[in-house]
Amino acid sequence: MEPIRRAVELQPLSRQHHNGLLFCLFLEKGIKKQADKILMRDFCMYFWQEDLQHHFEIEEKYLAPFVSYPALKEVIDKMVNDHLVIRNFFERSDVLTEYSIFDQLQQMLEAHIRFEEREVFNLIQLTLSPKELHELGHVYENESNNICAEYPIKFWE
């Protein structure tokens, strides 16, 4: 499979996706290791509050309006629906108490990130005009890239 060439304008979001994949890997390692569930829950809440919540908000604010493009409607609708399902895990942190739930969350988030990278972003690159992509790039150019690997309690090690 040939590597995906990401438009420069979408690269800040792809870097945030990389951090999301790290989050999934750390959860997976914590599950295999049978790490402390409270530490894992706290890590999940940290990731949600410091990274993913904002990431979802900016995607919904700036990408979701492209649902009006026929070529993008289906993938944008799925993206927003995935956000709702994933958001529910974090907004009901009381459910983040079992390895099976952590596993569901990490699998769902990983699949969602890969969907956005492989389908949503590719279609956006093919559908938007260079001017629209450029304008989108200005929105995302100053996005921060939090690194969940810097979390002080490394339950996954």
Which domains are delineated in the chain? 9-141 (1.20.120)
- The model's pTM is 0.91
Burial 115-132 (b: 16+ CB within 10 A, else e): ebbeebbbbbeeebeeee
pLDDT in tens, 51-95: 999 999 999 999 999 999 999 999 999 999 999 999 998 988 787
- How many CB atoms neighbour CB 27 within 10 A? 26
3-state DSSP assignment of residue 38:
helix
Question: What separation, in Å, do the N-terminal and C-terminal C-alpha atoms of the chain show?
Answer: 31
DSSP label of 6: -
pLDDT in tens, 105-151: 999 999 999 999 999 999 999 999 999 988 888 888 777 777 888 88
For residue 15, what pLDDT is reported? 87
